[in-house]
């Protein structure tokens, strides 16, 4: 596996109440990423993940699609500090 990196995404659109955080958790698990997904007060979802650059790139593409009932209008991606974590949590 490559060097660990971290990314933070803010996903906007109809992304709360449609299973988006569970979608993020499922895809992170499939890709071997650790981190979390949580709803933000403004209606967006924050996703944070740690893994290899290739895994994070794949995750970014999946987050832009979202689950079936979501309507993703925008995804803002930033580099983040790598925090140790062994799983992907939902808050």
- Active centre residues (catalytic): 21, 39
Contacts of 60 (CB under 8 A, 6+ apart): 7, 9, 75, 77
Q: What is the C-alpha to C-alpha distance for residues 90 and 36, in angstroms, rounded to an integer?
A: 6
Q: How far is CA 21 from CA 1, 4, 24, 31, in A?
A: 25, 22, 5, 15
DSSP summary character for residue 84: -
């Amino acid at each position: 596996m490559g060097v660990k990196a971290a990314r933070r995404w803010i996903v906007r659109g109809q992304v709360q109440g449609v299973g988006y955080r569970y979608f993020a958790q499922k895809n992170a698990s499939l890709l071997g990423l650790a981190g979390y997904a949580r709803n933000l007060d403004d209606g967006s979802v924050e996703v944070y993940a740690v893994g290899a650059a290739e895994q994070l790139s794949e995750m970014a593409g999946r987050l832009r699609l979202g689950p079936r009932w979501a309507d993703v209008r925008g995804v803002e991606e930033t580099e983040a500090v790598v925090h140790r974590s062994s799983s992907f949590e939902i808050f």
